[in-house]
Structure 1
């Protein structure tokens, strides 16, 4: 269903479009942006001046608190265009719910639902030509919030800027992904902000991921910070394990992101009568399953790649190759998810949200 509000958003249209300068057949993910962006400022206790304006630089003080105390959260979502030119979002209410949950944890004021959806409708209508039809093509949407109060005192900001950027994306293919299981570094700790899409969570991952890449691995499977005993996430994605024909994923907690793709995979698996267990899984259980041949698949689930299969993992300097599966759970889940997103099949879950 669609949600239209009467929230007044000022629109300053770009004088001309840059779309003809873009090679849509050779896009680098997240590096090309559309003609417009949305911004809204939190001042004097209220969100004010919602505006859609031409995409471009913004002016911000070097003393803005975002740079000094890290008050920043974001979301990742996509818009899709079907073969008839209709535009859809995928479970956007979940994205709004999560960015507000992240904001609360970072002492940032929540963003109003009516303004969020009105902004989505209007900016997607303005930049709809940037959304290309075809399975796998999409428009990546990046809402984010940052602290803008000027000052370096260690306290929450009293001013914030909420923005939405749009970036065209192609079908995402990662190739063969090899991962290493973390034994020293952690993504998040108990009582921390691991469940939030806080900017600092991702900055802290880059160093251990770089170390993994130096050894020929693309990503890290993160383990719990207390014992490095339990498997939690893969890179920037939730992670699933298939042992025999059972699908296993870790439960969400204050260390693990409540992924929207993760929830969707679980729902699809249950609809298809695949035995699904949301429970803790240990590194030793995974290694033993790899040794006895019962480990069939590992894959990540997230907005950018949808599903990212893992071909091998390393633990304690031992490499475990995974067998090829035809068909695989990963390929079947990805196909079903993308067909729903692109309006190529029925949507039994009511996940599609029509915009235009």
Structure 2
């Protein structure tokens, strides 16, 4: 945005109050505008109907309000809704609403594209264009919440930062977006209902511990030895399993928050009993609550396949027999490329 104006949502309430003082407006106006920005999710100054036209013009003159908009929406046969959101500069990101009988989960993006190049993920084949600002991530959540209300009559119950991008490489904005989402003058959601997923940036996992965050953490593991993991996730070359295990233990020691592992099953790559044994070994080194075993969702760039059903069941049985709390996560929204690893702005 080249206008030279400040994004009004980047001002705190005290900063907004200071501005209103400088133009000799009553202090309560700042609170009104702040509520429009966050609680009521106004996407333009004109929408602020209890503010005088004169004041709205002044705001328009001094500030921008670059709210994101829904570009396209696709509905899956299983009820999943995928949206492509347009940002103020024309870039696009995708978000997904995943409904079940007990939950309405929003899967949100934190970057335009991704720099990590994981071999099984459609986003990994895109370049990283930029990070999302915290207010853009908030907009995604607010729009998906609106969708949940319209389609299912229920508010969002959970948020997962598992869309496009690596959340911990956009650390500041991700944490600020969660602060707004959980704030009483934002969406007021409990941080315990929010999970941030990482491909494994050990230094930033430790930073989460230092910052005493209150949300949950998921590690995208997908292979339980360094050789295999490096083949499909180049980040493992600089953040190997030993370093990640240490970082996860530090995170837990500092926060006591839930940790889970994500493990996509790939045919003839990580679906043997030996692979299960290695996964169990890692599970026992970290106070993890859960291992999500995920069905692989094919993408055009990668040659991976999902294992046969009996192989997946045997893998799950082996974990269960060894007292691993594992859940097989069936893919949702495959028919609209909305499932895990499929987000690529195809619309």
TM-score by length of 2: 0.27
> Which has the larger share of strand?
1
> Which has the larger share of helix?
2
TM-score by length of 1: 0.27
